[in-house]
Amino acid sequence: MRTPLIAGNWKLFKTISEATAFVTALKPLVAEVQGVEVVISPVFTALSSVAAAAAGSRIRVAAQDCYWEEEGAFTGEVAPGLLKDAGCSHVIIGHSERRQYFGETDETANRKTRAALATGLTVLLCVGETLVQREAGDTFTVIESQITGGLQSLVAEELKQVVIAYEPVWAIGTGKTASDEQAQQVHAFIRQLVAKLYSQADADQILILYGGSVKPENVKGLMSQPDIDGALVGGASLKADSFAAIVRFNS
Ligand code: 13P
């Protein structure tokens, strides 16, 4: 009922030529895969070249952030409409690195989410607890406030264009993946929360991705969990063969 989504977040890596070469290499590796959506997320400067290279394939393109205004005197910002113009269908919002280093809050993530949805982009809204929060027993409280804050004032119709990515901060770039059970526990909690905030039908349709040291070796176990609908992959998405192996988790 939910089509799995595998997304690669390249963070601050790859020039335009490296990014387009990746797309050329990835296309044949994922052409035959059935029933999986594939998204890659390069830096802003490579978006339009990557979108052009991916045209006609199943690969979709996401930006890693956006602003909430469409235009104006906002030096350095990029509007959702410009991302669409560059060929994006998706945008990542509220990544923990943006929260940690660039002052992203639930409130700014919510403003960006609403603006991106109004433009017709699909939002990958990221949430996740730090190690300190997990060890203090605050995981569910943190996730609940990030989700209620991030989805603030969104109606059910808008929620159809939202994908939630659960990325425990302690598992990002550390090689330390959440166990299948740990991830499933939080995913189930998120789905129940969406049911409470919206409806069971909305909760049943929303995609919840796991992120944090996903690799070809651990993706199958994660994807076998009932509430894990895909992955947001950092390091292992930088090489076409390892990313393709994750996309082909089912074969
Ligand atoms: P890693 O897969 O490198 O741990 O990164 C996860 C991530 O932050 C994806 O957004």
Q: Best mutation site among 41, 124, 125, 167 for ligand 1, i.e. most ligand atoms within 8 A of its Cβ?
A: 167
pLDDT for res 177 = 86
pLDDT for res 175 = 83
* Beta carbons of 219 and 183 less than 8 angstroms apart: no
Task: Specify whether 95 is catalytic.
Answer: yes
Between 96-110, 147-161, 165-179, the lowest mean confidence (pLDDT) is in 165-179
Which two three-digit tokens encode residue 241? Answer: 């063969």
pLDDT for res 11 = 98
The pair phi, psi for residue 241, each rounded to 5°, is -70, -40
pLDDT for res 7 = 98
Q: Average pLDDT for residues 72-91, to the nearest whole number?
A: 98
Q: Average pLDDT for residues 80-106, to the nearest whole number?
A: 98
pLDDT for res 176 = 85
Whether the predicted pLDDT of 4 surpasses 90: yes
Q: Average pLDDT for residues 197-210, to the nearest whole number?
A: 98
Q: Best mutation site among 6, 9, 170 for ligand 1, i.e. most ligand atoms within 8 A of its Cβ?
A: 9
pLDDT for res 182 = 96
Which two three-digit tokens encode residue 138? Answer: 């605050």
Whether the predicted pLDDT of 251 surpasses 90: no
Whether the predicted pLDDT of 1 surpasses 90: no
The Cα 186–Cα 167 span in angstroms is 10
pLDDT for res 223 = 98
pLDDT for res 135 = 93
Ligand 1 atom showing the smallest separation from residue 172 Cα: 4
Mean pLDDT over the full length of the chain: 97
Q: What percent of the chain has pLDDT over 70?
A: 100
Given 3-state DSSP classes, what are the helix, strand and coil percentages for the chain, each rounded to the nearest 5?
45, 15, 40
The Cα 59–Cα 18 span in angstroms is 16
The Cα 66–Cα 68 span in angstroms is 7
Tell which residue, 102, 111, 109, has the closest CA to residue 125: 109
